[in-house]
Amino acid sequence: MHLSEGLLRPEILIGGAVVSAFFTLYAFKTLKDEDIPKTAVLSALFFLASFIHVPIGPTSVHLVLGGIVGAMLGLRAFIAIFVALLLQGVLFGFGGLTTLGINLFNLATPTLIGYWLFMLPTHKRWQKDILWFLIGFIPLALSAFLLSLTLALNGDAFMDAAKIALVAHLPLMFIEGAMTLLALRFIEKVAPTLLYQKEQHVSRMAA
Amino acid sequence: MDQTQTSPHITPTTALLLALLYSSSVALQEHLYTPMLLPLLLLGWFQKESLLSIFKRLFFLNTLIAIVVLSMLWQKNYDLALLVFLRSNFILMFILMLFQGKDEFAIAIAMHRLRLPHKLTSIFFFTAKSIFLIKREFSLFKNTLHVRGFTPKTNILTYKTMAGFVGILFIKALERSVLLQKAMQLRGYCGEVYTLEEHQAFTKQDTLLALITILSLLWRQGALI
């Protein structure tokens, strides 16, 4: 999911950094002190998601959890993912400092769709299940698409790698969707107030 | 929690600044020069006891790079393949050796020392603390599954178990965020987190590495590619 250091052209690195900086600075400007703890703990969860390996056939994939983090944070997900990516970049070498901007754009922008999906009112069980699956599926699918697009825009020499990267993410999209659905169902069962807070927010906004 | 003491050579603040300088300079190069290896050699000497684990990690980080490089070799684009491979690995090695033995708290302290906005440094501190706590829960959960004889497989039981774990992590994280917010209010949080400055004294190795890194980026002789 992370683009490594040294792969991309300066135009893409700078472009990604500028767009991500705009969103992140705007998110910081609107961040209130009371939102800092929630942003920080969800940043920690995003950081640690790469340690949660889910078996798939003879191999395993790690979760991303961008959709669910986006669902809980909205635009503040940019800050949470920025912090997590910076820590992953310097401590583990996943991504890096020069690719931080483009990686942040590729991973954080699709999470806004997770937030939008989470905020949609649902009345029936099946509607909720489909939406919760999509909260995991769509942001990851979009992130994979953006990653491949970034590689494709980097030059003809990167086209094959772009195709391989997109295909390699296909099983992960379904795993992420299923895990998000099951995790949200678990939260609904064990701590429903955490999800109802959002529903109350929807009602308030509608009123 | 503060692993800066286990890696006394380079302070996190210097590490962060030099990582930014070296990676942004090398990533934008169309040609690489032999002097760019100098900081890697110096760091290798500083981290000689951890070199094996660093190279192991570097090997796994080369997955995407390998896909890209192999696809370029397939297209007979040898020069670009070599440039991308060397550029990526130079930067990765520099960062891995620079931050070897450092943790999230070291980065948070570095952010604070760099006098970045208080909101940002506060989030780094709270994220570091949350990572520390969630990691502990993570290993507890793994141990519990191990004791119960759970073996992960490609089946619905495994996915439900893993999803339950993710759910627990989210519930605990969100509950912790509420507690943290209350703790912040009780302690009179006014937008800033304070640290002990003595952790951050610059070392001779900081100066040496900074000089070598700057020199290596300015000295354009002995082209590698």
Does position B123 have pLDDT exceeding 60, yes or no? yes
**Overall residue count recorded for chain B in this entry:** 225
Give the pLDDT band of residue B2 (cuts 50, 70, 90): very low
CA distance B93 to A1: 20
Q: Nearest-CA neighbor of B36 among B104, B116, B94, B123?
A: B94
- DSSP 3-state of B49: helix
Chain A residue numbers with beta carbons less than 8 Å from the beta carbon of B140 are none
Averaged pLDDT of chain B: 87
- Rg of chain A in Å (alpha carbons): 17
- DSSP 3-state of A121: coil
User: Does B180 contact A37 at a Cβ distance shorter than 8 Å?
Assistant: yes
pLDDT for the residue B53? 94
Q: Which of B139, B174, B181 to probe the A interface (max A CBs under 10 A)? A: B174
Give the pLDDT band of residue B220 (cuts 50, 70, 90): confident
Give the pLDDT band of residue B155 (cuts 50, 70, 90): confident
Neighbours of B173 (CB within 10 A): 23
Chain B residue numbers with beta carbons less than 8 Å from the beta carbon of A64 are none
Domain membership flag for residue A125: yes
pLDDT for the residue B1? 45
Does position B6 have pLDDT exceeding 50, yes or no? no
Average pLDDT in the B206-218 region? Answer: 94
- What DSSP designation does A55 have? E
Helix ranges (H only) for chain A are 10-30, 36-49, 66-73, 77-92, 100-108, 111-119, 125-153, 159-190, 192-206
The amino acid that residue A92 corresponds to is F
Q: Nearest-CA neighbor of A129 among A76, A74, A186, A172?
A: A186
User: Does A178 contact B189 at a Cβ distance shorter than 8 Å?
Assistant: no
Domain membership flag for residue A2: no
- What DSSP designation does A156 have? G
Burial of B69: CB neighbours in 10 Å, binned 0-12, 13-18, 19+: buried
Number of domains in chain A: 1
Could you tell me how many CB contacts below 8 A there are between chain A and chain B? 231
Domain membership flag for residue A111: yes
Residue pLDDT tens, chain A, 207 long: 788 898 999 999 999 999 999 999 999 999 988 889 999 999 999 999 988 888 887 778 889 999 999 999 999 999 999 999 999 999 999 988 999 999 999 999 999 999 999 988 888 899 999 999 999 999 999 999 999 999 999 988 889 889 998 998 999 999 999 999 999 999 999 988 887 766 666 666 666
Q: Which of A12, A24, A35, A41 to probe the B interface (max B CBs under 10 A)? A: A41
* Range with lowest mean pLDDT among A49-58, A153-162, B16-25, B34-43: A49-58
Largest CA distance in chain B: 64
Give the β-pairing of A59-62 and A53-56.
antiparallel
Give the pLDDT band of residue B5 (cuts 50, 70, 90): very low
Q: What is B138-158 written as a DSSP string?
A: HHHHHHHHHHTT----SSHHH
Residue-number span of the structural domain to which A59 is assigned: 10-206
Q: Nearest-CA neighbor of A66 among A5, A117, A121, A15?
A: A117
Chain A residue numbers with beta carbons less than 8 Å from the beta carbon of B180 are 37, 40-41
Q: Nearest-CA neighbor of A92 among B24, B98, B88, B46?
A: B98
- Cα A19 to the center of its chain, rounded Å: 16
Q: Which of B24, B152, B159 sits opposite A98 (nearest CB)?
A: B24
CA distance B105 to B83: 34
ipTM score of the complex? 0.90
The amino acid that residue B75 corresponds to is Q
For residue range B77-105, list pLDDT tens digits in order: 899 999 999 999 999 999 999 999 999 99
Domain membership flag for residue A1: no
The residue in chain A having the minimum alpha-carbon distance to the alpha carbon of residue B73 is A157
For residue range B160-193, list pLDDT tens digits in order: 999 999 999 999 888 888 888 888 778 877 777 7
Does position B215 have pLDDT exceeding 50, yes or no? yes
pLDDT for the residue B197? 60
Q: Which of B24, B127, B131 to probe the A interface (max A CBs under 10 A)? A: B127
CA distance A74 to B164: 23
pLDDT for the residue A40? 93
Domain membership flag for residue A5: no
- CATH code of A102's domain: 1.10.1760.20
User: Does A7 contact B88 at a Cβ distance shorter than 8 Å?
Assistant: yes
Q: Which residues contact A153 (CB under 8 A, 6 or more apart)?
A: A12
- What DSSP designation does B120 have? H
Percent of chain B with pLDDT over 90: 50
Does position B196 have pLDDT exceeding 70, yes or no? no
Percent of chain B with pLDDT over 70: 94
- A61–chain B nearest CA distance, Å: 11
User: Does B27 contact A28 at a Cβ distance shorter than 8 Å?
Assistant: no
Chain A residue numbers with beta carbons less than 8 Å from the beta carbon of B25 are none
User: Does A183 contact B167 at a Cβ distance shorter than 8 Å?
Assistant: yes
Does position B35 have pLDDT exceeding 50, yes or no? yes
- DSSP 3-state of B85: helix
Tokens 């570097």: give the residue.
Answer: B58
Backbone angles phi, psi at A124, to 5 degrees: -115, 155
- DSSP 3-state of B11: coil
